Amino acid sequence: MTYPFLGLGFNSWTEKFGREVVVSGIDCTTLPSGRYLDLSAKKSFGIGGEEATPRGVFVGDSGNKMYITGEAGDGVDQYSLSTAWDPSSASHDGFKSIPESPQPKDLFFSSDGTRFYVLDDTYDRVTEYGMSTPWDITSGATHTHNEGFGFGNRDDNPTGLTFSSDGVYMFVMSSYLRYMNRFTLSTPWDTSTAGGRVQNAFPASQITQTGQETGIAISDDGTRFVIVHVNGDEIEEYTLSTPYDITTTTHVGSLSIASDTTFPSGCCWGNDGQYFYVSSASPTDTVFRYETCSGGAYKILGRP
């Protein structure tokens, strides 16, 4: 059986291949009951030298590049990873100022690395850029489009951004109103073709209405997604009975990461769901990488 080429750091969304099973070195039975994610098997990298208030994180280019958005610098920092997927091996490549997004939150890249997207809560919009060299924002990144959401439509103060692996759906989280919005792109990865909005609300018992930071990440098959948020310093996980349909969500549970961060602001998956990354602004400006156990790709909670 073949599947679309999905996830982070991959080639064209039209390419198909026989997926390899990701094998983790972690035995699920060694983890606490019900958990697939090992918080102790972590790597980290301090980004305080480049960004004082990190928000979003993305790891792409087959794990060889890492990107951070930050409000202090109003832009995106790019890093090279000498060991693929390992943030502790990062070195800073450069910085791309994003004047179109004066308060950048989350970010995402197209699967071929030729476009990237920055979420801004000053103008409540996604700003799109094209790159002459894939995965390199420091050489020739060009602003191409602003996709605004308007005000009072349950998407004020957006803080979380992710896409389906084929670029057909764009997801925007408004932490202030506890709403996630899904937009359908008639041309994959082209935000100027966004339409067909679907919305879903989350109860205060899961995400408190604080207007603070949230990051979101979705599995490659669209059946699970996670939200990290500042209130409670937690990861919330959900399943979707219909892939990518956010109106069919079921809450799996919450997992505290307060021992590592008191201000988790962004997240993403890596290496076909083996690694989960969280950007943190407190107590230090850091990116953490956690690992799922064998058989637990794209899963955090709910292990039998």
Cβ(225)–Cβ(215) under 8 Å?
no
Mean pLDDT by 10 residues, the chain (304 residues): 35 37 83 97 94 93 96 89 98 93 92 96 90 93 86 70 97 87 96 92 80 87 94 92 97 96 94 97 94 96 95
Q: Which pLDDT score is estimated for 175?
A: 77
Distance from C-alpha of 275 to C-alpha of 297, rounded to nearest angstrom: 8
Give the DSSP per-residue string, 103-169. SEEEEEE-TTSSEEEEEETTTTEEEEEEESSTT-TTTTEEEEEEEE--SSSS-SSEEEEEE-TTSSE
Q: Find out whether 206 and 254 touch, Cβ atoms under 8 Å.
A: yes
Do 157 and 173 form a contact (C-beta atoms < 8 A)?
no
- For the chain, domain boundaries: 3-201+209-292
Q: Which residues lie closer than 8 Å to 300 by C-beta, 6 or more apart?
A: 35, 36, 37, 226, 235, 237, 252, 255, 276, 292
The C-alpha atoms of residue 11 and residue 155 are separated, in whole angstroms, by: 31
The pLDDT of residue 131 is 95
Its pTM stands at 0.91
CATH 2.115.10.20 for the 3-201+209-292 domain, yes or no: yes
User: Tell me, what's the pLDDT at 25?
Assistant: 87
Size of the chain, expressed as the number of residues it contains: 304
Which pLDDT score is estimated for 55? 92
pLDDT at 143: 94
Closest CA to 65 of 76, 49, 81: 81
Query: Can you give the pLDDT at residue 153?
Result: 58
Question: Residue 88 has what pLDDT?
Answer: 98
What are residue 181's DSSP bridge partners? 172, 199
